[in-house]
Structure 1
Amino acid sequence: MSSIADNIGSVTRRIQKATLNAGREPGSVRLLAVSKTRPASDLKTAIEAGQTAFGENYLQEALDKMAALEGAEGIEWHFIGPIQSNKTRQIAEAFDWVHSVDRLKIASRLNEQRPTGMRPLDICLQVNINNEDSKSGCAVEDLEQLAAAIEGLPNLRLRGLMAIPDPDQPEADLRLSFRKLAKALASLRQALPAAGPLDTLSMGMSGDLEPAIAEGATWVRVGSALFGARAPKHSES
């Protein structure tokens, strides 16, 4: 069985090849290791192989790993799961990025609860790019209003957009979904030139990172291709 270090090397080469094939600048796409349900020992192995950015879906599990890995230098912690109002304080206190902000209430709480002295929290707005009933996220038509409201929150820095299109759709449809997200970000830049850097598209996973990169992804969120198939995880209350 391939080691985590080997898998990181393999995925990194896929990213580099896809970036080159898209005619994009080398290094313009970063790997976010989706480490939900993985033990801290797996993250330690990944860190030793040079991986620095980790995406977590479950708050308490993530906090336990942070404690276990305390002292590891240069680690970025990204919250990528659904956000409940009663979890925002700990997310604001512990994470560097949040990819899954989909409403102003959550953004406002993160802003209010970000500790004094910490740099602004980098956030992405999660978009329900195809208006699927089963998916979380802001509708595309509501993005400008939400982004404009977040622009006034001093402890947040709006970096861009995130989406999770259905990975089982045909590749042409998948690419169209990624392209819609890229166009939505371009429209936001034009409408709100002062609303943060707006330099981030968080899209693409283990099976579809190449089409995501072709359409402009700057973060690809990869779990199973790095760590293997995941065991089921119970929901946090």
Structure 2
Amino acid sequence: MPAIQSRLETVRQQIQQAVERYHRRADSVQLLAVSKTHPAEAIRQAAAAGQGRFGESYIQEALDKIGQLRDLDIEWHYIGRIQGNKTRAIAENFDWVHSIDSAKQLRRLNDQRPDNLPPLNICLQIKIDDEESKAGITPREARELINSMADYPRLTLQGLMTLPAPAVDLEAQRIPFRRLRELRDELASEALPLPTLSMGMSGDLEAAIAEGSTIVRIGTAIFGPRHYPDQK
């Protein structure tokens, strides 16, 4: 069995075990394969093994791979920091963006989303741990952006995302994910139910699923170690 297919099956089993352990619905957690720094051929192998959602962080690298893989039915997710001069490429080529942290980004992505494409699915990135080095917005800022969503008809706000600080054990890992879930519950409304919680990676997958994650972002456990070129 090819290595990527074998790793994918292992990750899927881990997700399924956590879903069962915490009494989640079988279809309630989606796997986002984080393919940044890995070649198009690795994505092709994962797609052949049934994976359909892939996450990228570097625009030029992502555009190259999107171009090479147009024959595949792939849902592309942008999960990196958003530079102002890159928003058009994101708006034109991705299905989801997980890392929104300003009204300026909302405006640019909305204005640059082509009319022939469906609305761009987005998540607001929440700084849940107050780490200065992390991107994201405060809960108060999130409320302000949510209240402005009617101004952006080419965007669909799906929910919230976070990248918490590392924690040493399962119970400590659950705390920031619980905060994000509680914040989502507080901010959600009938008009904007915010069904998506994008949280959890290889090292804290179980904790994220325990607290309600609907998208887990897994890279190295599927594709192996990353090699970081000088990406812009």
Answer whether contact 1:44 1:69 (CA < 8 A) is retained: yes
Task: Give 1:229 shift.
Answer: 1.2
Alignment of 1:153-232 (within 5 A): 153-189=152-188, 192-195=189-192, 197-232=193-228
Q: CA deviation at 1:27?
A: 1.0
SS in 2 for 1:54: strand
* Alignment match, 1:51: 51
How far, CA to CA, are the matches of 1:58 and 1:169 in structure 2? 29
Which residue is 1:42 aligned to? Answer: 42
Cα offset for 1:140? 1.6
Aligned to 1:12: 12
TM-score w.r.t. length of structure 1: 0.95
- Other structure's SS at 1:43 match: helix
What is the CA deviation profile of residues 159-211 of structure 1, one whole-angstrom value per residue up to 9, with x for unaligned ones? Answer: 0000001124443222100000001110111xx4313x410000000111111
The 2-side partners of 1:210 and 1:22 are apart by 9
* Gap runs ≥5 in structure 2: none
CA contact (8 A) 2:131 2:165 kept: no
Are 2:99 and 1:63 equivalent residues in the alignment? no
Task: Pick from 211, 229, 232 the counterpart of residue 233 of structure 1.
Answer: 229
Q: Distance in 2 between matches of 1:136 and 1:49?
A: 33
Residue 133 of structure 2 aligns to which amino acid in structure 1? Answer: S
Shift >6 Å, 4+ stretches? none
- Percent of residue pairs bearing the same amino acid type: 49
Taking structure 1 as reference, are residues 63 and 171 closer, same or farther at Cα in structure 2, changes over 3 Å only? same
8 A contact 2:171–2:207 mirrored in 1: no
Aligned residue type for 2:190:
P
Please give the secondary structure, in 2, of the residue aligned with 1:180: helix
- Name the SS for the 2:148 alignment partner: helix
Aligned residues: 232
Instruction: Decide whether the 8 Å contact of 1:151 with 1:158 is kept in 2.
Output: no
RMSD between aligned alpha carbons? 1.3
TM-score (norm 2): 0.97
Residue of structure 2 equivalent to 1:151: 150
Q: Distance in 2 between matches of 1:81 and 1:168?
A: 22
* Residue 222 (structure 1) shift: 0.1
Equivalent-residue separation in structure 2 for 1:3 and 1:153 (angstroms): 42
Deviates more, 1:140-149 or 1:104-113: 140-149
* Corresponding residue for residue 22 of structure 1: 22
C-alpha distance in structure 2 between counterparts of 1:100 and 1:57, whole Å: 10
